Amino acid sequence: MGKQKRQRGRPHKENPTGLMSVKDFDEIEDSTKGNKESTLQYLYDEIQSCNMEEKLSALHTLETMAWDASIARQIAKDGITKLAGPLLLDSKDMIRAAAAAAFKQIAENGGDQARTNLIDDDIMTPLTALMKQHYSNCLFNSDHKNVKYLRETYIEAVSLLWTLCENNENAINFINEQELVSILIKYLDINIYDMPIIITTIQFLITVIEDNSIAIEQIKSSEENLHDILAKMVAKNAKSSPEAWFARISSISLLTNICAWDDICKSKYFNVFIKTLDEVFSFDNKQLLSSLVSILPHEKNAESKNNRKKVLESKMLLNTQQLALEILMNLESNNDDEDDESLSVDGSEKMEVESNEMEADEASENLKRSLPVHLVEALNHYNIIGKIWEKTVAVDTDSQEILDQTVEGKNVLKQFSVVRQRAYFCLNNILPNFDIDALGGVNNLYSKWLEIGNAVIKEISPNEKELLEAAVHAMRAIVERLNDMQTDVFTQLSEPDFEIILMCDMQTRCADASVRVNMIRILGNVALNLTRNITRTYTMTKKLAEIILNDCSIQTQAWLLAESIDAIMDLFADDETDRLAADIHLVERLRSLVPIFRNKVKQQKKELKDRMDTVRIVNSNIARFIQYKTERVRKLR
């Protein structure tokens, strides 16, 4: 539980050119109904024309057609980079702008395969050359006759870089080799550049900085520029502006990567951070959803300048909430990283770990998971936890059906889902830092736990892997928090509530390994809580224990089997469980698992890597546990 790495990919970005027009949709529809291959071939020929107008028209049409994901993939597969890549360096400003816009649309809508094709065909070479030739020191001076195209090309090109770098290490390595970050950080100066330029730059930098020490070192020189962005956005008191919120939150996101936590805690950053969190999370997403539902299904209505602005601002606000949640989520992860190093011991010591040392390690695990006190107090003061809970609410069915009718609507639905996912992960990470009263008390936390369980079985599809993983993570965090409080709340489980647990187990049977292991831990923790009144909860406890044992018998991965065995040992560590152990033949079943477990470990040793710690601990303790429980069960007879 706990550490969640910030995900580099952010697939739901604002479109600087606005919504697709009715004409655009018609053009796509016409091309998809007709012969796509011949249409595309005609455009490829036009791109190579000596006539500027023909080139321009072909690029604009490709950009429009690339709104369709399948066409975008086809264009990338056809080798568009070799045909149109040189146009990124064309002598005509408007050609460069059109080429950048077309490539950006292909990369965004074509998915991973399109991006891979573009990179394999070396889109990075002309793209970085474009940035070096035209933007090493560009002020977008109004004296330049084509300043409009210069600005447009910058935004499209940097957005393209952003998309290419989201999930491709080769693109990031190329950025580092070409030292492109050192060029782009100049565009963080709010005294020179406007917000669209600054925001586009920050979005790219947030993505490329992840686990990138080279980029981090280059961005460090921009700390004052980031502080200026914060100061000026607050000075303008533009709290009703999604653009201002995003600028503030994204600046802080960069600062958390280049500054020590102690620096972030200084009042000049900290107060703005907390104030912005409060404003961003206080925004009513139901109201935002209602507004989008009234606009997006009606393309003619969405075409108005005012409505287009509303949609773009709504998307930016969702992006801002996502980024704010990631910052909170990863502040906790950063603390974990530091503490993990100080608590690490070598493998031989772990093989010999004694049960009392394991208990001490578990206590240390609880102690180490702490944010600075003044941050917790500030989050508590503004009820940030409560506001994060609100972001876990699903889009209602009616709104989902309406938004699912259009391309923009589908994108918005994805954004709401990503915000929900990040909210669950954020809760997973920060809940252990708060007193139970700050979380609304035991009964409220238990109610939230059931709420997430209902969402898992009724709202979240098994295909929504990341959302399912996030929800199950949050469920585990809550049950562990309740167990830490020594509360017996689960002994009051009603039959319908117990059914929720069983249905969650069924829902995650075929899920990813990370989801399944967390579900097993949830079952184990609930069962452990039930043992506090085992006479009354015997049937439910037995059912959960059987599920975990059955899970052990079907696991093919050594580390998952280790987690399941560990959950069983935790559950049956107490003497009050001796009768239950005898009834389900625990000792015999565990004894038969030991050679299977050790054989799997031997076979999969090279694959275990950082999961080896859990495997070693289980391997060290399983024999002693079986011996101990054998003696306890024998006494019953």
Query: What letter would DSSP give residue 396?
Result: P
Nearest to 202 by CA among 213, 215, 211: 215
Residue 308's SS3 state is: helix
Contact (Cβ atoms closer than 8 angstroms) between residue 274 and residue 382: yes
SS (H, E, C) 365-387: HHHHCCCCHHHHHHHHHCCHHHH
Residue type, 226: L
pLDDT at 345: 32
Instruction: Report pLDDT for 344.
Output: 35
Please state, in angstroms and rounded to a whole number, the distance separating the CA atoms of residues 192 and 199.
13
Matching CATH number, 35-138+145-178, of 3.30.1490.100, 1.25.10.10, 3.30.465.10, 3.30.1330.10: 1.25.10.10
For residue 265, CA distances in Å to 197, 262, 500 come to: 28, 5, 42
- Stretches where the chain sits below pLDDT 70 are 1-34, 141-145, 235-240, 261-262, 264-265, 268, 298-304, 332-370, 637
Distance (Å) of CA 436 to CA 366, 375, 460: 14, 17, 27
Per-residue tokens: 509 = 């049977």
User: How far from chain centre, in Å, is Cα 186?
Assistant: 28
Give residue 113's region: left, alpha or beta (phi > 0; psi -120 to 50): alpha
Q: How far from chain centre, in Å, is Cα 240?
A: 26
Q: What is the DSSP string of 437-472?
A: GGGT-HHHHHHHHHHHHHHHHHT--TT-HHHHHHHH
Measure the CA–CA gap between 403 and 413, rounded to whole angstroms: 7
536-584 pLDDT, tens digit each: 999 999 999 999 999 998 888 999 999 999 999 999 998 899 999 999 9
Give the separation between CA 124 and CA 122, rounded to whole angstroms: 5
Burial class of residue 44 in the structure, from the number of CB atoms within 10 Å of its CB (0-12 exposed, 13-18 middle, 19+ buried) = middle
Task: Convert the pLDDT of each residue in 504-544 to its tens digit.
Answer: 999 888 888 889 999 999 999 999 999 999 999 999 999 99
Say what the pLDDT of residue 351 is: 34
Q: Sketch the domain layout of the chain as residue ranges.
A: 35-138+145-178
Query: Do 41 and 82 contact (CB within 8 A), yes or no?
Result: no
User: Which residue is associated with the tokens 């791109």?
Assistant: 47
**Which DSSP symbol is given to 239?**
T
Using alpha carbons, list the distances in angstroms from residue 581 to 113, 385, 548, 609: 52, 40, 13, 33
Helix, strand, coil content of the chain in percent (nearest 5): 80, 0, 20
Q: Which one, of 254, 248, 235, lies nearest residue 276 by Cα?
A: 248
What count of Cα atoms within 13 Å lies in the side-chain half-sphere of residue 244?
16
**Residue-by-residue DSSP string for 77-131:** HTTHHHHHGGGGG-SSHHHHHHHHHHHHHHHHHHHHHHHHHHHHTTTHHHHHHHH
> What pLDDT does residue 592 have?
94
Q: Which residue has the tokens 């292909």?
A: 106
Model pTM? 0.83
